[in-house]
Amino acid sequence: MNIIGLSAFYHESACCLLQDGRLVAAVAEERFSRVKHDARVPVQAFRYCLEAGGLSLPDVDVVAYYESPQKKLSRQLWAGVPEGDEELAWLDPHQPERAIRERLGYDGPILFFDHHQSHAASAFYFSGFRDAAILTVDGVGEWATTTYGRGEEAALEVFEKVHFPHSLGLLYATITSYLGFRVNNGEYKVMGLAPYGEPRFVDQIRQLIADGPGGQYTLAMDYFDFARGRRMFSPALCELFDAPPRVPESEITPFHCDVARSVQAVLEEMLMAKVRYLAGRVDSANLCMAGGVALNCVANGRIVCEGPFERLFVQPAAGDAGGCLGAAALAHIQKTGQRHSDESLARIFLGPRFSADDVASMLAATGLPAHDFRHREADLLDAVADRLARNQVVGWFHGAMEFGPRALGARSILANPLDPGIRDRLNAMIKKREAFRPFAPSVLAGHAAEHFDLDHPSPFMLETCRVVSPLALPCITHVDGSARPQTVERAHNPRFAALLEAFYRRTGCPMLVNTSFNVRGEPIVCTPADALLCMGRSGLDALVLEDFLIDRAMLPDTWEPLLAAWHSRRRSAFGRSKSAIEENLYTFV
């Protein structure tokens, strides 16, 4: 049974392959096209899934699509045509099926599932739980924005929904836009900015949303303009805060920090209330969450520590890209009557991989010098640990690429968390991003409790906790004393765990700073060539490509301008610019 799960045409398209119940591949289209949040039909991701499974098109039994185009169209028509939208292709509910037929060349069966049903399935059926309460929260699917459900064995029931335009995700996206960040992209910046402020605008934020009976709530729509307007908020929101919206890229003031803190506080308040309501409806010790709001790791940390459930599973690609997992799992049940697996999703390394010989061929073709550590892994790890201990920043490229928004030790930028200046250097020279943004640590699982208030594995960086380490760790400790750790086990990522062990032997510190291998505005790197390009455009001191180590000092003087020219050509070939309206409005088509 070969099932392709597919999500596309909204925020971030992706494909996955379930082969006889085993998750063989999962990847977002952006990693191939190099267009961040690429929503187009995932041609290259689809091709990769076929290659990973050793399949040709006739071998695919079914394609499972993550939402219902007809139901989505009904909500779009209710909202009306966005002002200035002259292209009405989105009025055709058959567009997804036609794209699958024409662009992917697939002529077999296609199954369609509701958006939040796919979210719920992506969490429950990959959690390993036999039973669970299920909460999904995002901007909007077809009509639903929040759903409450239960799962038991192969059965999944959604028993209550909150409907558009009332949405926790859209509340948070609206404040994201007001604070000058891009919607569907900058919400995590608001979360990172929040600890710098005080919750002095909580009362104003509460005027935007009213709690309701059971799982319900409503937005005060006078303050919002996302359905029919050209931006997320109405003038009434500016009047409520007695301040104009922040101009993107302008100075961030204490006022902006306080607004961020306030919306984060109200989001957590609402989520905690709804989690407690769900616990009263579902008799289970387990909670599963998915949807874009489930990527708010600060809220997740509170749910774990203060909530009524004993265990929480958040699907690591909880946003729209991960909907393909749920659609595939639902298709498997429809075809076989059984859930595809009873095991928890422990590894998310499901993308392309490249052998040491592949890297050797590329280096030979480019004439780039490199240290060759083939068949000498211990020597490679010692060399990398030595550079990290000397406060160098290292690009780390090994094995199959991660699925989801977090770098988890396959496509990572690594640094020494003991270096007091490394945070500013990473933000300014490497990642080229805002100075307030925190960095996450990857820590050996056996040492996690010594440094973090964490009593369970956290392999996907999806919750925050207090730093309790005896070490001074300024780079990974946020202003509120928290961190977002990844616990690393040898069974799941042996080479990365071995690197952490080598660094621990050298420094007494069992963790590294781990941030995604990309610069601002770019997707995480996918190929060795992407990694080299990123090295040329950033301040990386060294780069590990499988069994090869390249020091920046080894690069010829002409390499950076050549890479810059190549990068410009690639963006011209693959790029897609967004209008100012698109960047400041939640796209509903």
pLDDT at 432: 76
Of the pLDDT bands very low, low, confident and very high (cuts 50, 70, 90), residue 147 is very high
What is the mean pLDDT of the segment spanning 492-509? 97
Q: Where among 336, 366, 381 does a domain terminate?
A: 336
Across 228-252, average pLDDT: 93
- Do 280 and 328 fall within a single domain? no
Q: Across the chain, what does the average pLDDT equal?
A: 92
Whether residues 328 and 288 fall in one domain: no
Residue 585 has pLDDT above 70, yes or no: no
Q: What is the pLDDT of residue 562?
A: 61
Let me know if residue 532 belongs to a domain: yes
Clarify whether residues 566 and 463 are in a common domain.
yes
Q: Is 349 within the bounds of a domain? A: no
Q: Are residue 118 and residue 186 in the same domain, yes or no? A: no
Catalytic residue positions, numbered: 11
> Looking at residue 429, what is its pLDDT?
78
The per-residue pLDDT for 420 is 92
The pTM (predicted TM-score) of the whole model is: 0.93
Q: What is residue 569's predicted lDDT score, i.e. its pLDDT?
A: 54
The answer to the question of residue 588 being in a domain is no
Q: Closest by alpha carbon to 61, among 370, 340, 288?
A: 340
Are residues 302 and 330 part of one domain?
no
Same domain for 373 and 475: yes
Same domain, 7 and 99: yes
Percent of the chain with pLDDT over 70: 93
In a domain, 132, yes or no: no
Count of domains in the chain? 3
pLDDT tens-digit map of 92-111: 788 899 999 999 999 999 99
Cα 545 to Cα 516: distance, rounded to the nearest angstrom: 15
Is residue 73 domain-shared with residue 171, that is, in the same domain?
no
pLDDT of 133 over the 50 cut: yes
Q: Residues 212, 307: one domain?
A: yes
String of b and e for 483-507 (b: at least 16 CB within 10 Å)?
bbbbbbbeebbebbbbbbbbbbeeb
Residue 128 has pLDDT above 80, yes or no: yes
Q: What angle do CA 459, 449, 505 make, to 5 degrees?
A: 85
Helix (H) or strand (E) segment spanning residue 394: strand 394-397
pLDDT for 379 beyond 80: yes
Is residue 192 classed exposed, middle or buried when 0-12, 13-18 and 19+ CB atoms within 10 A define those classes? buried
User: Residue 578's pLDDT is what?
Assistant: 41
Q: Is residue 81, in this structure, part of any structural domain at all?
A: yes
Q: Which of 281, 314, 347 is the last residue of a domain?
A: 314
Residue 84, pLDDT score: 54
Residues 184, 191: Cα–Cα separation, whole Å:
13
At 99 the pLDDT is 93
Query: Do 509 and 554 fall into the same domain?
Result: yes
Domain final position from 282, 314, 346: 314
Kindly state whether residues 360 and 296 are assigned to the same domain.
no
Confidence band of 83 (pLDDT split at 50, 70, 90): low
Q: Under a CB-based contact definition with an 8 Å cutoff, are residues 324 and 12 in contact?
A: no
Give the model's pLDDT for residue 433. 75
Q: Are residues 367 and 288 in the same domain?
A: no
179, part of any domain: yes
Q: What is the mean pLDDT of residues 176-200?
A: 95
Strands (E), 103-233: 110-112, 131-137, 144-152, 155-163, 209-211, 217-219
Give the model's pLDDT for residue 574: 41
Q: Tell me what percent of the residues of the chain surpass a pLDDT of 90.
A: 82
Query: Tokens at residue 118, please?
Result: 């796919």
Identify the three-state secondary structure at position 126. coil
Mean pLDDT of 367-392: 96
pLDDT of 266 higher than 80 = yes
Whether the per-residue pLDDT at 365 is higher than 90: the answer is no
- DSSP assignment of 19-56 equals ETTEEEEEEETHHHH--TT--S--HHHHHHHHHHHT--
How do residues 411-424 score in pLDDT, each as one tens digit? 999 999 999 999 88
pLDDT recorded at residue 521 = 87
389 within 8 A of 414, measured Cβ to Cβ: no
Q: What confidence score (pLDDT) does residue 115 get?
A: 97
Please determine, for residue 289, whether its predicted confidence score (pLDDT) is greater than 60: yes
Give yes or no for residue 80 having a pLDDT over 80.
no
Flag the least confident range among 450-454, 518-522, 568-572: 568-572
State the pLDDT at residue 544: 98
Using the predicted structure, report yes or no on whether residue 584 has a pLDDT greater than 80.
Answer: no
CATH number for 30: 3.30.420.40
Average pLDDT over residues 281-296: 97
pLDDT attached to residue 589: 46
Name which of 175-179, 227-231, 233-237 the model is least confident about.
Answer: 227-231
Using the structure block, give the residue that is written with the tokens 């590894």.
Answer: 347
In a domain, 128, yes or no: no
- Reference 53, options 125, 1, 129, 131; nearest CA is 1
Is residue 361 scored above 50 in pLDDT? yes
Tens of pLDDT, residue by residue over 7-47, are 998 889 999 999 999 999 999 999 999 999 999 999 999 99
Summarize the confidence of residues 542-546 as an average pLDDT.
98
Residues spanned by the domain of 234: 163-314
Question: Would you say residue 583 lies in a domain?
Answer: no
pLDDT value, residue 558? 73
pLDDT value at residue 573: 43
Residue 332: the pLDDT is: 98
